[in-house]
Amino acid sequence: MAGSQALAVTDGTFQSEVEQHQGLVLVDFWAEWCGPCRVIAPILDQIAVEYAGKLKIAKMDVDVNQQTAMRFNVRSIPSLLFFKGGKHVDTVVGAVPKAHLVGKITQHI
């Protein structure tokens, strides 16, 4: 996650950073040992730059922050959860192509 454009969130900061944010937030539930998580990380960084000001990207390490992962029933990683106005509105599971994520973002912006 070094050099990442995403904001690291924890169980303690999730409410203030994600659920109280008025715009669109994409939360990447990931873990250090997860290969597909490492594949999608640079794609999320590109999207963070391209959609700066329109989309907030956050990353949550599920090994350290299990409470929030359980709350949103995250069973597979990477799980990308979309929140708009603090409400969970969409989920993408797995390392998907950038075009798929851009389509989801466009749908919710």
Sign of the C-alpha dihedral computed for residues 55, 63, 97 and 35 taken in this order: positive
Q: What is the pLDDT of residues 26-71, one digit of tens each?
A: 999 999 999 999 999 999 999 999 999 999 999 999 999 999 999 9
Token pair in block for residue 43: 């794609």
- pLDDT(74) > 80: yes
User: Which percentage of the chain shows pLDDT scores above 70?
Assistant: 97
Q: What backbone torsions phi and psi does residue 25 show, to the nearest 5 degrees?
A: -125, 130
pTM for the whole structure? 0.95
Q: How many CA atoms lie within 13 A of 91 on its CB side?
A: 13
Catalytic residue among 9, 24, 25, 37: 37
Catalytic residue among 9, 24, 25, 34: 34
In sequence order, what are the beta bridge partners of 90?
82
In the chain, the domains with their CATH numbers are: 7-108 (3.40.30.10)
CA distance 85 to 21: 6
CB 60 within 8 A of CB 30: yes
Q: What rounded mean pLDDT belongs to the chain?
A: 95
Query: How far is residue 44 from each of residues 32, 67, 89, measured CA to CA in Å?
Result: 16, 23, 18
Encoded amino acid at 68, one letter? T
Residue 3 pLDDT level (bands cut at 50, 70, 90): low
Identify whether 24 is a catalytic site residue.
no
